[in-house]
Amino acid sequence: MSGDLGPRVAISASQKFLTQFSDVDLLLVGNETQLLSLLSQSKKLHARITLVHAADVVSMHDDPLLALRQKKDSSMWMALDLLRNNDVDACVSAGNTGALLAIAKFLIKTFPAIERPAICKSMPVEAGSTYLLDLGANINCPPDYLHQFALMGSVLAGASSEVSPRVALLNIGTEQQKGTDTLKAAQLLLQEDPRINYVGFVEANSIFTGAVDVIVCDGFHGNIALKASEGVALFIANKISKIVKQNLFNRCLSLLALPLLKRLQHELNPSVYNGASFLGLQKTVIKSHGGADEKAFLQALVVAREQVIHKVPARIQRVLCEAEGIAKA
């Protein structure tokens, strides 16, 4: 019901999602009248869509803790409650990130061994994926949090691959002596853990080279890296639009070069990388970007489906229990 663009985007993405994948059913949680009217505007109600009425909405500006206390009739709460009751396998939302995290922590809970859930997202690289976490759930992270993030990120990156994912810590230099005491202590934990293929410190430009598979950092650093990247990408997209307008249309080059620039804009579209995971929760909760368009929201649904298929939460539980076992031994 929320996000920057409201339920329209989620509904059109849902219809495409069901057409693409025959192995999924969808429950749409929100104001039934509004959803029905949107569904009737676009196409007939898909046979694999079920509507679940929710009287309230968590807005993008609601305080997360107030939402947690007062919005039990909201679409967000009700969707997560369906997940808690095993009525669904995953929950996807484009709404208020803080509220989604707070309500998910309360209803879905983390596995007992896990200190804190982390927000994790696949970043654009030349080939494959590089997962970055945490993206903002935890501002202050002692070394053991970063260690758990490394384990969880490694599980996610390795869920669909046979190769052990290369894991790095985000720092402001690659040399051993660089960075904070927290990072140096975290590095020791990662080096000593046989389940982590730790490759060292990386700088933030390495997020986009594909040199490593998982980059671990605290939520403050991850958020800055993510937002700075989005800022530059938007800045460049605007430049391209401007040049297209000035040169192409004015100078009649449009027909020849447009496909080319369209392809560029398509490849730069951040929607390809939409869908952040709340790792450490007992079930799959995916956060779509608030400003996601149909294609981007569809991608968030695809991410949710993959994590259900690969049983990511159960794998995380298995690895983290091993970790506990080792710690006790």
Provide the binding-site residues for its own copies, judged by CB under 8 A: 124-126, 136, 139-140, 170, 172, 179-180, 203-209, 219-221, 223-236, 238-240, 243, 247-248, 253, 256-257, 259-261, 263-264, 267-268
For its own copies, give the closer residue by CB, 24 or 224.
Answer: 224
For its own copies, give the closer residue by CB, 170 or 304.
Answer: 170
For its own copies, give the closer residue by CB, 72 or 263.
Answer: 263
Q: How far is the CB of 226 from its own copies (least distance, A)?
A: 8
Q: How far is the CB of 324 from its own copies (least distance, A)?
A: 30
Q: How far is the CB of 202 from its own copies (least distance, A)?
A: 10
Give which of 41, 18, 224 is closest to 7, Cα–Cα.
41
How far apart CA 323 and CA 329 sit, in angstroms, is 10
Q: How far is the CB of 81 from its own copies (least distance, A)?
A: 27
Q: How far is the CB of 135 from its own copies (least distance, A)?
A: 9
For its own copies, give the closer residue by CB, 112 or 231.
Answer: 231
For its own copies, give the closer residue by CB, 22 or 140.
Answer: 140
How far apart CA 16 and CA 216 sit, in angstroms, is 33
CA-based torsion, 16, 17, 18, 20: positive or negative: positive
CA-based torsion, 108, 113, 118, 120: positive or negative: negative
Other CB atoms within a 10 A radius of the CB of residue 19 amount to 9
How far apart CA 13 and CA 238 sit, in angstroms, is 25
Which of helix, strand or coil describes residue 285?
Answer: strand
